[in-house]
A and B are shown apart, each in its own frame.
Chain A
Amino acid sequence: MAHVQVVFFWFAYLLYAGGFVCFAYFLFSRRELQDRLGMACVAAGWLLETMALAARWVEAGHAPVVGGYESMATLSWAIVAVYLILAWRTRVKALGLYVVPAALVFLTIAWGRYAPPAHLVPALKSDIVVIHVGMIFTALAAFLVAGGAALIYLVEDIALKRRHIGPVLGRLPSLRTLDQLVGHAVMTGLPFLSMGIAAGAIRAEKFGVEHWWRDAVVALAVIAWAIYAGFVYARLAAGWTGRRTAWLAIAGLVCLLAIRLVAVPYLSGFHVWGK
């Protein structure tokens, strides 16, 4: 089973990379063909990654969310899933330029932390943990997409403001489209983040973790939640759009990435499993 998994992962990796090359080429050539080819590559890679994760699930006997390897691989899978849905619904494919490399980075990190499946520690043998992780990952994927759209928005905004029109015109999605995408993605992610944090809190209480609220991961997650809540308020009530909300989306994402890339590996808290 492990072999199958590895082969699937590698092919998924190659397909994502191929998809990214297509998207990058599309930016210069603006041919529909490369765009479609890129989408096809990413979709095929995602299917392979799904199969690889399924294989891992069968091998480990539990959902593949324990330890660096599994959680990073699942995260990249979730990002691409969210991207595929959004690209299909909104036809904003240029996002692939950001989302696909992000997925590749997470896959690379996952490979660096490859470990055979670990046995579940008692603390993780719980349905509520699966809900917690599932919710958080969905939220993270949505926020990553939002952050990417926000980043592209800011770059395009600066280019248009400085009148560097040529490189942008007709290549990137319009500012309005990106702005709406940021809004939709954040508003999709926030309920999942809320539920994920709630599920985690419930589990921590039940399991009797002392001072769980002082954990760096929890603190960063709450800060991110506050930023996104502020985003939704500013957008709906105060009528903020464009640059300001884009910065908020990026700030929230930085907090979330800090959890995954800094807090979990370096600031040891109770969230470190499968090491």
Chain B
Amino acid sequence: MNDASQSLTTRVEPLKADAHIVLATFLNDEPTLVLTDGQILIGADRLTPHGENAILMASCDGTRLITGGDDGKIFLFNAKDSAIEAGNEKGRWIDALALGPSQSIAWSAGKKVIARDGRGQLKEWAAPSTAQGLAFAPKGYRLGIAHYNGASFWFPNTEGKPEFREWKGSHLDITFSDDGRFVVTSMQENTLHGWRLTDGKDMRMSGYPSKTRSFSWSHDGHWLATSGADAAVIWPFKDKDGPMGKAPRECGVRHAKVSSVAFHPRALVLAIGYEDGCILLCRLSDAAELLVRAAHKDDGKITSMTWDKTGARLIFGSENGAAGVLTLP
């Protein structure tokens, strides 16, 4: 890694931030940082819709950004000058957020789950226990909700009871595969659980030394990269059985735990952020590595990384407010 030709460190432009970074992303191609102290930095603009309250959660799909705070408010940004208050849970902490198809969004506070469609119509469902993670299915208006002892799948526009898939333990984050065939949750017990939605078959993906809190699907939908181990653990999802009976790949093995992962939008290249502030790029085909950022222990763990839509730039942020943009040569 000492060879300068294998390093991209000189191509990183630092960004100024001075609080825990909840989300580092590109909103309409502008580098965007969401900070816990309530600031939202979009390009050169600084917005504070939550006032001095903390922002706990944020999510962005490239054209929309949502933030949820400990003031119970949800703000939705379509462009940098059009923040709207999409919801208000009156002082309750927002635990989870999701962006869905056709301009829909969802959020949760405790057991209360709210889905808001593109026309602003709200639907509410009470989860059996706190909704810890939310994700929309890639097609249709359907929300996956991770909670204690399983996950529920809710069509907000139908009256029927959400479908419940049981698996003992506390489920945290949830993600759907791009083709909608699989859903995966991370768990308090340092493991992942998956369901094949076509037949409900369970998949257990275990062996992590800590919790997985970052997921990223490859552009072709064939791979799911995960944080939580001393390497990025990448599960194969191409075949009809997904990762069942298969070993995962490992990329970027170091003596530090991976805290954030982000697949390149066009190539099988994974950005891997670690708990010590280091960032590597790793190519799946030959496991070749490039250093983006050397370890800086004082910066804390990398909390968020996102590629822009063409994959020319990668933005990142850390728990102690270090941030920057890598521009590929």
Q: Do A and B come from one complex?
A: no
Chain A interface residues (CB < 8 Å from chain B):
none
Chain B interface residues (CB < 8 Å from chain A):
none
